[in-house]
A = this chain, B = another copy of it.
C-alpha cells in the first residue's frame, strides 16, 4: 500500500484534526496567531496524529475523545520544531521560511512556548492520569535530548550509542507514545498499548535514521532545505559516525569536519559528502534503519488482525523504503 492511499482513506478524520489544530492555537494576540498559523500552514505529514488515530482503532474508536491526545502530540512536535529552528539558524523548513527568519529568535521562542502551553491545555480534557504521566515524561526526555544534541555538537568521539539515545529522545519517544496513547485513550488493554508503544518506538528510530540519511544524500528539492544542514550545525549523525570508524577515511573526515566547524557551516561540503558516500557508511545506516523496521513489524505480531495493523505495516515499509 502507498502512504498516499492511507491518507486518502483517513482523509475525513485527518481533515477534522487539521481543523481542530487550527482552532486550538487561535488567539487574540495578532502576532501569536500569525506565527502559529504560519507554522501550522507550513504543513508536515501529521504522522503523530495519524499514529494516534490508528492506535485508537485497537480500542473503541471515538474521534471526539482521541483528538484530545492527537492534537497535543502534534502541537508538542511543532513547538519543538520552532525551538529547534532558533538553534539551527535554519532559514527554511519544508521549503517555507522559518518563524525565526520571518520574525526573530525571541518571537520564535515565545511562539514555541505558546504552542506548547496550548498542547497542555488541550490534553487536560482527558482525566486519565496515566495519559498525563506518559506525556510529561516523554517531554522531559525530549528536552534532555535537545541539550544532549548541543553538548555533542561537533563531537567526533561520540558513539553509536550516544546517537541512538539522542534520536530516541528527539524523535522515537514521541512517536512511540502517539501509538500508545491512541490505544490508551480508546480503552485498549495494557498489553495492546505496550505493543503499540514498541511499534511506534522502532518506527520512530527508523524514521529518524532515514531522515538523517536524507539530510546528507537528498537534494534541496527533496528535503525542503539545503542538504548537509546537520553537519553544518555540528550534528554528527549515524552515517558520519559509521564513516569515522573507517580508519583509512577517518583523518580526511576529521579534517573536513574541523573545517566545517571553523567556517561555522558556511562552506562547500560536497567533498565531505562524497567521502561519506564512498565509505559504505550510508549502506550500514540503511541496514540499521531496516532492522528497526523489522522490529517494528514484529511488535505488531501480538495485535489483532484488523485493518489498522495492515496500515501500520504499510507505514513501516514505507519508512524502510523512504528514498533519498
A interface residues (Cβ-Cβ under 8 A, vs B): 27-32, 83, 86-87, 105-107, 109-111, 113-114, 116-118, 120-121, 123-124, 127, 129, 132-133, 136-137, 139-140, 142-144, 146-148, 150-151
Mind listing 25 A-B residue pairs with CB under 8 Å? A28-B144, A29-B147, A29-B151, A30-B151, A32-B144, A83-B109, A86-B106, A87-B106, A110-B143, A110-B146, A110-B147, A113-B146, A114-B144, A116-B116, A117-B136, A117-B139, A117-B142, A117-B143, A118-B140, A120-B139, A120-B140, A121-B133, A124-B132, A124-B133, A132-B132
CB of B143 within 8 A of CB of A114, answer: yes
CB of A140 within 8 A of CB of B114, answer: yes
CB of B31 within 8 A of CB of A113, answer: no
**Given pairs A30-B151, A31-B151, A83-B113, 9 additional interface contacts (CB within 8 A):** A31-B150, A86-B106, A87-B110, A110-B150, A120-B132, A121-B140, A124-B129, A124-B133, A132-B132
Nearest-CB distance from A100 to chain B (Å)?
A: 11
CB of B27 within 8 A of CB of A144, answer: yes
Residues of B within 8 A of A83 (CB): 109-110, 113
CB of B147 within 8 A of CB of A120, answer: no
Docked CA distance A127–B124 (Å) = 11
Which chain B residue has the least Cβ–Cβ distance from A109?
A: B109
> Top 8 A-B pairs ranked by shortest CB distance?
A114-B143, A121-B136, A120-B136, A117-B139, A124-B132, A117-B140, A113-B143, A124-B133
Docked CA distance A122–B181 (Å) = 20
Residues of B within 8 A of A124 (CB): 129, 132-133, 136
Docked CA distance A106–B107 (Å) = 14
Docked CA distance A312–B140 (Å) = 34
Nearest-CB distance from A230 to chain B (Å)?
A: 16
CB of A109 within 8 A of CB of B129, answer: no
Residues of B within 8 A of A144 (CB): 27-29, 32, 114
Supposing A129-B127, A136-B120, A137-B121 touch, asked if A29 and B114 sit within 8 A by C-beta, the answer is no
Docked CA distance A277–B27 (Å) = 38
CB of A29 within 8 A of CB of B148, answer: yes
Which chain B residue has the least Cβ–Cβ distance from A122?
A: B136
CB of A86 within 8 A of CB of B109, answer: yes
Which chain B residue has the least Cβ–Cβ distance from A28?
A: B144
Docked CA distance A121–B138 (Å) = 9
Residue from A83, A106, A142 with most neighbouring chain B CB atoms (10 Å): A106
Residues of B within 8 A of A30 (CB): 151
Which chain B residue has the least Cβ–Cβ distance from A76?
A: B117
Which chain B residue has the least Cβ–Cβ distance from A115?
A: B143
Nearest-CB distance from A108 to chain B (Å)?
A: 9
